[in-house]
Amino acid sequence: MSLRTPLARVLNQGAAHDGVGHWVAERVTALALAPLSIWLLVALLSLPRSDYASISAWVASGWNPVWLSLTVLLAAWHSWLGVQMVVEDYVHSVLTKTLTLLLCAFVHALLAASGIYAVLRVALRVAP
């Protein structure tokens, strides 16, 4: 009979050794995205005009650049974590899985970077 506790025996026995961090990050980004997604949906649906001047003024006004950048960053992060999990569950060939996971990582990084860069460009162009 081993004197090790059941917890000690299962610790670090997982496949990737970082599952808890992934799980926590998915929840933390979800919590942050909850108010941000309500804000974005309400803001976009209540925009009175969709011409270029009105839209770029809206993107640049007040704290909108901050909320927009956060939304894009956290949505890309949360999406990456989720898509990663789906790929790990359903793609079994090591090569295909690795390539798909790499592609997902790169596409999500590109989405986050280009979204934030776009928001900053508009904000810094229009702001005082």
Partner 1 sequence: MSERPLSPHVFHYKWAYTMTLSILHRVSGLALALGLIGLTAWLVSISLGGAQYAALQSVYLSWPLQILIAIAIVTLVYHFCNGVRHLAWDVGWGYERHQARRSAAIVVAATVIISVACLYFMFRHGAA
Contact residues: partner 1, CB under 8 A: 27, 30-31, 34, 37-38, 41, 44-48, 50, 52, 55-56, 59, 68, 72, 75-76, 79, 82-83, 86, 111, 114-115, 117-119, 121-122
- Residue spans of beta strands (DSSP E) within 11-128: none
Q: Is 37 exposed, middle or buried (0-12, 13-18, 19+ CB in 10 A)?
A: middle
As a whole number of angstroms, the distance between CA 88 and CA 82 comes to: 10
**Nearest-approach distance from CB 58 to partner 1, in angstroms:** 9
- At residue 122's C-alpha, the angle toward residues 117 and 124, to 5°, is 90
Q: Least distance (Å) from partner 1 to the CB of residue 52?
A: 4
Looking at beta carbons only, is 8 or 34 nearer to partner 1?
34
CA distance 128 to 112: 25
What is the closest distance, in whole angstroms, from the C-beta atom of residue 40 to partner 1 in the complex? Answer: 8
Q: Record the tokens describing residue 70, joined without a space.
A: 């956060």
- If the CB atoms of residues 44 and 99 are measured against partner 1, the closer one turns out to be 44
Distance of CA 119 to the CA centre of its chain: 16
Residue closer to partner 1 by CB (options 3, 46) is 46
Distance CA 3, CA 75 (A): 45
Q: How far is the CB of 65 from partner 1 (least distance, A)?
A: 10
